[in-house]
Amino acid sequence: MLRSLVLGLGLSSAALACDGCTGTGDVEMIRRARLIQPRMQPDALPAINGPKGPLPWGQLTFAHTSDTHGWLMGHVKEENYGADWGDYVSFIRHMRYKARKLGVDFLVVDSGDLHDGAGLSDATAKLGGVNGEVSLPIFQNLDYDLLTIGNHELYVADVAYDVFENFAKFYRSRYLTSNVQIMDPKDGKFKYVGRTHKYFTTYFGVRIMAFGVLFDFTSNANNSKIIKAKDMVQQQWFLDAINTPEPVDLFLVLGHNSIRSSTSTFPVIREAIRKVRPDTPIQFFGGHSHTRDFKVYDNSSTALEPGRYCETLGWFAMSGIEAGTGKHKPAGVPNPNRPAINGTTSYLSYARRYIDWNRLSFEYHSDNVRTFDTPRGESVTDEIWDERHRLNLTNLYGCAPQTYCLSCAPQTSELSIYPLVQKALSAVIVNEERKDIPRMIFVNTGGFRFDLLKGPFTYDDSFIVAPFRNAFQYIPNVPYAAAAKLLDLLNNGAPQKRDMDRKHRSFIPRSVDACPLDGAQFNSGLVKRKTIIRRQQIVTPGYITKDDFGIDGDDTPHSSIPFFRTTNDIMAQGGFPADGSTPETVDVVFYDFIRNYVLTALAKAGENFTVADVEYYMPTTFTSNDFLPEYAKRFWSKDC
């Protein structure tokens, strides 16, 4: 059948002869047959504009991911990030080959958070399985050199145990969890999920001591334990590791740990190492805050953070370590050329790049478009496609008539997701027995995690846009005068940090990973706006990154996407009198997650209600994850 497909394309059988490829003739045939379909996921879109130039390579060169959150299918509706995990697997294979040819070391590292945020990881939990049971084995097709654990591996006991039992055992000594332990049910003892540290020598002879440090996370499931950084650096194993009599040319610290925020524990680690090794280079690879960023700590210590959700591949090169036989200035490619700090006499030089996660980027940097796909990369792409269908992730609810963004427009604008959310709440959150009683529905904006993009709105998108499962509760017969003050009171109260309210939540928090600092960087989805043509080059909207080395880090130049903040909460209403008169009382409906804030705010408005007054407005199985799909089913066309 394959044969007829291929021949149907008009390729002669001579063209199928396999010369110089690594696989067999069959593999080559499959590869060619796939040319009928676009590579990536078949429904993904190709990128429009590509890299500005070749990547820098140094004595040590790194590819870095973090916060992938299950996005292994790539962003099928966004041209900038259309590559899938299979494309990435092929790309890394080419980069490993190129590194050898250039005579430099190449290491591939990940900083954690593999769960929560896309159907491929999350749908299995809704089916009664474990979040990640499909996505982690797919992830494992990438031969990472070093990885570390994220907080999203630790909220739910089953997930933490799965990581310990399967993922950690797969990567063995490459999985570093210097301060994270789990209780092994086999003997009731707390054990490190992975290894505390790893001492190794690279191919070209650089001797590295590596750690993997999670920030001081506290909302973990009770079968896990996080040792605070300040305590970890006092532990004997750590002191032994940094004082080892073996030569150490470089300390490598991976961490699910923001490189810039006040919650980062990297400075604690750096100070502890610096105390005994004032001159040894220390390189950090962070994550968690979902930003593209690069930070200089001192003249021989810098940190990279590579964004989120398979939107960015972080790239980092350094030269000047006085060890090994790797080339410091490999020929024919750009080399790292900046000291960490201007004016230092250190020999170390650095470069960083943020690569858009798409085929155009990956093929361009592989110098080899014709044979880009590797057999493993292709099989990963196929497996993702199969799993997306097996899990029904491509099932259609309806066609979004436009893109509704989280932050690209003021929240009252029709471009924003919030007017749509209000419409959907009004239409869908109706208790049949009380449908004639006016209702005011309050929800927090932090539960919306991604833009709702124009085109097919699928089961997968229901996880992408609103993954959390908050139930709808209400207080009946609240005096309208008080209810009318509620929104302002909620929005002027303390920000609703999502502390763990396990009882009402099958998975995970919302705002903890959001970067509170830099809107332009935090902002995500590609908003359909006019592309700008500059010097004959097409520039599409996307990330524009400013870091400690300036504004030249983005691999593909973009025009910026505006950023607008939103209020904590929004309100929708329904069932109000048609004549515009104000009712005496209303039903006050809200997510269970914000119940206590609502009670506090109502008390401020002079109405003392208690938990005993709160009831469920909708069945507990109909949650914040369900109302947009229901709206799409009822009100959007099925013909995209």
Ligand X SMILES: *[C@@H]1O[C@H](CO)[C@@H](O)[C@H](O)[C@H]1NC(C)=O
List of residues contacting ligand X (CB under 6 A):
127, 183, 222-223, 298-299, 342, 344-346, 391-392, 603, 606, 608
Residue 314: name the closest of 56, 114, 64 by CA: 64
| Residue with tokens 């020929």, as numbered in its chain | 331
Phi, psi of 193, deg, nearest 5: -65, -45
* Closer residue to ligand X in complex, CB, 392/596: 392
CB 148 within 8 A of CB 113: no
**Nearest distance in Å: CB 399, ligand X:** 19
Binning the chain into helix, strand and coil, the percentages to the nearest 5 are: 30, 20, 50
**Nearest distance in Å: CB 344, ligand X:** 4
* Closer residue to ligand X in complex, CB, 4/222: 222
Residue 605: name the closest of 473, 439, 489 by CA: 489
**Nearest distance in Å: CB 92, ligand X:** 30
* Closer residue to ligand X in complex, CB, 345/536: 345
**Nearest distance in Å: CB 489, ligand X:** 15
**Nearest distance in Å: CB 602, ligand X:** 10
Contacts of 597 (CB under 8 A, 6+ apart): 490, 493, 494, 496
* Closer residue to ligand X in complex, CB, 97/347: 347
In Å, what is the CA distance from 186 to each residue of 165, 169, 195?
Answer: 11, 16, 19
* Closer residue to ligand X in complex, CB, 223/445: 223
In Å, what is the CA distance from 396 to each residue of 119, 211, 455, 466?
Answer: 13, 44, 10, 16
CB 316 within 8 A of CB 355: no
* 597: Cα separation from own chain's centroid: 29
**305, β-bridge pairs:** 293
**Nearest distance in Å: CB 88, ligand X:** 26
* Closer residue to ligand X in complex, CB, 307/456: 456
* Closer residue to ligand X in complex, CB, 551/578: 551
CB 35 within 8 A of CB 80: no
**Nearest distance in Å: CB 338, ligand X:** 6
594 burial via Cβ count (<10 Å: 0-12, 13-18, 19+): buried
**Nearest distance in Å: CB 547, ligand X:** 12
**Nearest distance in Å: CB 546, ligand X:** 13
* Closer residue to ligand X in complex, CB, 100/189: 189
312 burial via Cβ count (<10 Å: 0-12, 13-18, 19+): buried
**Nearest distance in Å: CB 93, ligand X:** 32
DSSP-based three-state secondary structure for 305: strand
CB 623 within 8 A of CB 507: no
**Nearest distance in Å: CB 316, ligand X:** 18
Question: Which stretches of 270-391 are assigned E, i.e. beta strand?
Answer: 282-285, 292-298, 301-306, 312-319, 349-356
* Closer residue to ligand X in complex, CB, 342/621: 342
**Nearest distance in Å: CB 440, ligand X:** 20
CB 324 within 8 A of CB 206: yes
Query: Could you tell me the sign of the dihedral formed by the alpha carbons of 66, 70, 73, 74, in that order?
Result: negative
* Closer residue to ligand X in complex, CB, 299/559: 299
DSSP state of 582: P
Q: Which helix (H) or strand (E) holds 539?
A: strand 537-539
* Closer residue to ligand X in complex, CB, 344/413: 344
* Closer residue to ligand X in complex, CB, 27/296: 296
